[in-house]
Structure 1
Amino acid sequence: MKSEVIPSSAVGQKINEWYKYIRTFSVPDAEILKAEIEREIEHMEDDPNLLLYFSLMEFRHQLMLDYLEPLEKLKIEDQPSLSELLRNIDSNQADLKGLLDYYVNFFRGMHEFDKREFISAITYYKQAEKRLSFVADHIERAEFYFKVAEAYYYMKQTYFSLIHIKNAYEIYAEQETYNVRIIQCHFVFGVNLMDERRFEQAARHFELALHMAESENKAQLVGRALYNIGLCYYNQDLLEPAIDYFERAVSIFESNAIIKSLPQAYFLITQIYYKCKNNSKAVEYHSRGYEYAKETDDIDYMVKFEFLKTLYQAQPDEQGIEKCFYYLKNKNMYADIEDLALVVAKYYYEQKNFEMSSSYFLKVEEARKQIQRSEGLYEIEI
């Protein structure tokens, strides 16, 4: 007996529902609906655009899983890799228009952001923005504003980041099921306010995020809130409370196998111990942090741990330090160059090597100029 053909419109509605679960990080519901859609597609009428829409949502689903941590990801078997999904999307992308074109560029921007290719991410977001008029769903617009705000923050474009995160927050705050995104909005507000040295306001956002994350029982977000509070103290040179919060964050991350977040936390703890001349502790944390960076294939932090090793050994290895800056420059990571060049400049200043100190203060200034100039790069066409 011939099976009944399922209309593509019905499958499209289920894909829309699937996307709602993805956006709220509802992994079990998203997995169940994904499997149901895959079964129905086998009996669906021919619709190439709908199949591409499914591929895009499968890509977005995998981005969600990659954002979440191993304990949850290990429960999901036989997931295709992002590179496999991208090849499938790219091979069917030739004449995309409207909403599908928006999704292709928006999701590609998210993927580039996850790889810390921030210029590339913003370039894709700019292409998506040209199709934003096709997006009727206000929550989807909030997702766009949130992701763009994140990217602008990492490029140290504080003004643009705050505008976009305010737009996102105002939409999410009207909903009852987007508390995770509201917590993350507080993070983005806070880190931008730290860049403006408005530490009290930043701390209020982080404390509120911590309270909400604890209420939601979200270990990853609790750890991130603790880390951000520590960062707030660190940026005020209040190292004792900073390291206390970093240690608490590390404890949360390790006890919940949230491995991806550990290299960043270990890096700053290691740096603090080096600054405090506690070399035995610094070496211990350096070793553990570097191993986590290798385990997660986090090349950026592997390079940064090498940077600490080359700076704080008995005699700084200038060649090793410059190798780190060369890597960061090739990735347009000028904010990181600014931070690390300042660390080197202060180190040499404390050693009364004023010539070397001055050269790195000049590197800080050059990095800041590149950050100020970088806005024009966002207009690159692809």
Structure 2
Amino acid sequence: PCFFSSLEKAKALGNKNIVFRQLYNIGLCYKGLSETTKAISYFHQAILEGEPIGEKLFQVYYELVRIHLKQKEFIEGQEFYEKAKRQATSYHDDLFLTLLDFMEELFFKSANLSEVLEALEKLENPRGYPYMEDLALEAAQFYTENGRMDESVKLYEKVMYARKQIQRSDCLYEFR
């Protein structure tokens, strides 16, 4: 409710940056609730608001990559992957380039366990652990769905490792 309220106030004030940010946040909320149709709708609205004002859209594109790939919509996933990669490269955002490299290893290449684990190792830092936890879980589910249980177990172990690191450090989950 607070995001919807903030969105309406930002629209009334004509603050396009806040409108963009709130549409993105609402999309994240719906994604977290597994309401992907609504999440996709809000992410697309965020893109429409963000493009004309030069917002960094690679975060929105990244979320769309994850949604579409999880739903096995590889053409759409590839499309948003390319957009995210181009923009993250132009902004020199190493974190999102690392996240995209992981997605590439898991979904667009052979999903070789050692390469997937190597991509996750790049997130071995306080800022990266929450992403490591999230992506390792996604990879574990991917391997489980594909009957690759030994690989799945390794990724679930990585999830637990990331959670322990988060609990032990002053690492905080990043909210946008």
Is contact 2:126-2:169 (8 Å) kept? no
Identity over the aligned pairs, expressed in percent?
A: 31
The CA distance in 2 between the partners of 1:255 and 1:332, in whole Å, is 30
Q: TM-score, normalised by structure 1?
A: 0.43
Q: What amino acid sits opposite 1:286 in the alignment?
A: Y
**Residues 1:306 and 2:101 are matched in the alignment:** yes
**Residues 1:220 and 2:34 are matched in the alignment:** no
Structure 2 counterpart of 1:276, from 62, 71, 76:
71
Structure 1 counterpart of 2:83, from 247, 267, 288:
288
Superposed displacement of residue 332, structure 1: 4.4
The CA distance in 2 between the partners of 1:222 and 1:247, in whole Å, is 13
SS in 2 for 1:237: coil
**Residues 1:315 and 2:102 are matched in the alignment:** no
The CA distance in 2 between the partners of 1:337 and 1:313, in whole Å, is 19
SS in 1 for 2:136: helix
Is contact 1:310-1:318 (8 Å) kept? no
Any unmatched runs of 5+ in structure 2?
A: none
Is contact 2:126-2:166 (8 Å) kept? no
Is contact 2:81-2:100 (8 Å) kept? yes
Any unmatched runs of 5+ in structure 1?
A: 1-203
Q: What amino acid sits opposite 1:247 in the alignment?
A: H
Which gives a bigger RCO, structure 1 or 2 (Cα 8 Å, sep 6+)?
2
The CA distance in 2 between the partners of 1:237 and 1:354, in whole Å, is 24
How big is the alpha-carbon RMSD for the aligned residues of Structure 1 and Structure 2? Answer: 1.8
Q: TM-score, normalised by structure 2?
A: 0.90
Bigger Rg, structure 1 or 2: 1
Q: What amino acid sits opposite 1:264 in the alignment?
A: Q
Residues 1-382 of structure 1 aligned to structure 2 (within 5 Å):
204-258=1-55, 260=56, 262-313=57-108, 315-330=110-125, 332-375=127-170
Q: What amino acid sits opposite 2:131 in the alignment?
A: D
The CA distance in 2 between the partners of 1:334 and 1:345, in whole Å, is 16
SS in 2 for 1:323: helix
Superposed displacement of residue 331, structure 1: 5.2
